Structure 1
């Protein structure tokens, strides 16, 4: 009995010590006692101009938070419209080590235009706020720095997002003529619709730089045809040849290498009153152009006759799944208000659908 009692006492003591150590670990970090990071100030105002798009707008610097002990902390630089409580914050940078971030005029303008669109605000001088959020783990309270405010005047123009290019047989492996996937939230998720025009199976890759020196991803050693989820290989992957449709919606995580492939289609066409909403859609063909900003653009095009008041839509393979309605695009067109496009006047029309964008664009032109 003494032996059993001795063991029991030892176990109790061990558990007590373990519990004490656990409690000490849990109370080591206190958000009330921790000192949050400090974010540097900015000028009172900035005016952004497109001619300076590639230049630096400004640099923000900050300090590490003081937690009272050594810990791995992720500091994230956040921005949002002033007085919105960071409800739709955009993360400009996240790092365990960096204490500064420089943003270009183009990147800053793009992010402000994105926020103005979210809040349905006009393009005008706008109050913008920045802060640092310091995170240890999901279980610990996040620390926030002081908020730094400034007024920024953006310029009109199509927002630019971080992008990764698709190089392949479809474009002669030309970096300057590549379709892209985009990161809307400036994180590690890139997505867009792409169109291979019958050459998907000939091979393609994701590429971040023109000379292939960094940031390129290819196929693993084995893939199944039309594989919907695959982890790509960074650096030395093979050409991706497992897909044979013309168009896909791609979602790529450049941190994990995970690629999600959906919405496979071989054709797109115009359906509407002109064909009694039945079969025999007016097929769209792939075209390219260089726009006024010297950017290479891909679009699908159709030309057809329509009567006054005709309604129409874009759909794939004469099926209604994944059809395109006015609410999903921007551009120059008439919205019938019932989920369809329309034309008010009879005539011959050219419809251009710029699909490879964050928000696809449709331009409808009445031909003379």
Structure 2
């Protein structure tokens, strides 16, 4: 900051500041972001053109403006931000706002779920003077799913029954009609949701699916490998009981130690004593499906190398099967 600007700051009265006035979004306006897979250009479409009047400090001062968006009630504690230097207009692309929502790990916005949010303009002239904010405008924003296409398995097996936002998911790895993945089911009823309002239920015959069909029923609790073909309208489920086995475990290479599912973490886990030796993971007390780690990097491969336990002790072992592209594990010493 120059000496001249510093002198100007000593002469201004913060009580006389006039805040920016935001335009471009109105109260309770609803936006549904759409990813059109048939057109790359759809992601380059403009979501909103925001303009605002410049903050008035009683004299011309270099001002930096930031657009802030956060969930209603959060008091902008962890906002999405767009910095716009000294300009008082910004065009925000569909892809840009959705990517920012998708990457907010500490302030998660579930895809395809309407979020009640609010927006404001933050104006700053100096670190020594409190920012000036525009009035807050509340509106609604629904992000699209930025990852692979998914089916959300909602039902009575969930801690919050039928909750779309917290549902376990099946993935379409090739972004086509085929979906697959591991889902932990209890004695429950469930459906396959494409969106909160569009879901497949049971078809007229076993192993088939139908839009708006009755709920699927599951009787035996456990982890299921599920494959779905939405074009041929078929579903297949196979019960996979996962366990830890190996020379480091109490049962050695002869007896599995079964794992249980943690609904909060969406991972399988087990706590047990391990020696400084080796483990693997396998299904249904057999070697047909078994996971190891070829590169000792925490990711899994079918039939992969034995996993070394670094030192003897009591461990909680985690197995994350939520993403069929990348199974992973973690050994946490207690």
Q: When the two structures are superposed, what TM-score results if normalisation uses the length of structure 2?
A: 0.52
Q: Secondary structure at the match of 1:93?
A: coil
Equivalent position of 1:190 in the other structure: 179
Q: How many angstroms does 1:287 deviate by? A: 0.4
- For the 8 Å contact 1:232–1:257, the answer to whether it is kept is yes
Equivalent position of 1:221 in the other structure: 204
Equivalent position of 1:301 in the other structure: 269
- For the 8 Å contact 1:167–1:204, the answer to whether it is kept is yes
Equivalent position of 2:162 in the other structure: 173
Q: How many angstroms does 1:93 deviate by? A: 2.9
Equivalent position of 1:319 in the other structure: 286
Aligned counterparts, 1:244-259, within 5 A:
244=220, 246-259=222-235
Q: Secondary structure at the match of 2:231?
A: coil
- For the 8 Å contact 2:243–2:285, the answer to whether it is kept is yes
Moved over 6 A (4+): 54-57, 106-109
Please tell me the root mean square deviation across aligned C-alpha atoms, in Å. 3.5
Q: How many angstroms does 1:55 deviate by? A: 11
Runs of 5+ in structure 2 lacking a partner? 1-30, 45-94, 101-145
Number of paired residues? 203
**Which one has the bigger strand percentage?**
2
Distance 1:270 1:220, change over 3 A: same
Q: When the two structures are superposed, what TM-score results if normalisation uses the length of structure 1?
A: 0.48
Q: Secondary structure at the match of 1:323?
A: strand
Q: How many angstroms does 1:108 deviate by? A: 8.0
Q: Distance in 2 between matches of 1:345 and 1:204?
A: 42
Q: Secondary structure at the match of 1:174?
A: coil
Equivalent position of 1:284 in the other structure: 259
- For the 8 Å contact 2:299–2:328, the answer to whether it is kept is no
Distance 1:195 1:340, change over 3 A: same
Q: How many angstroms does 1:249 deviate by? A: 1.5
Greater alpha carbon shift after TM alignment, 178-187 vs 238-247: 238-247
Q: Secondary structure at the match of 2:157?
A: helix
Greater alpha carbon shift after TM alignment, 310-319 vs 99-108: 99-108
Q: Distance in 2 between matches of 1:333 and 1:366?
A: 19
Q: Secondary structure at the match of 2:43?
A: strand
Equivalent position of 1:271 in the other structure: 245
Equivalent position of 1:206 in the other structure: 192
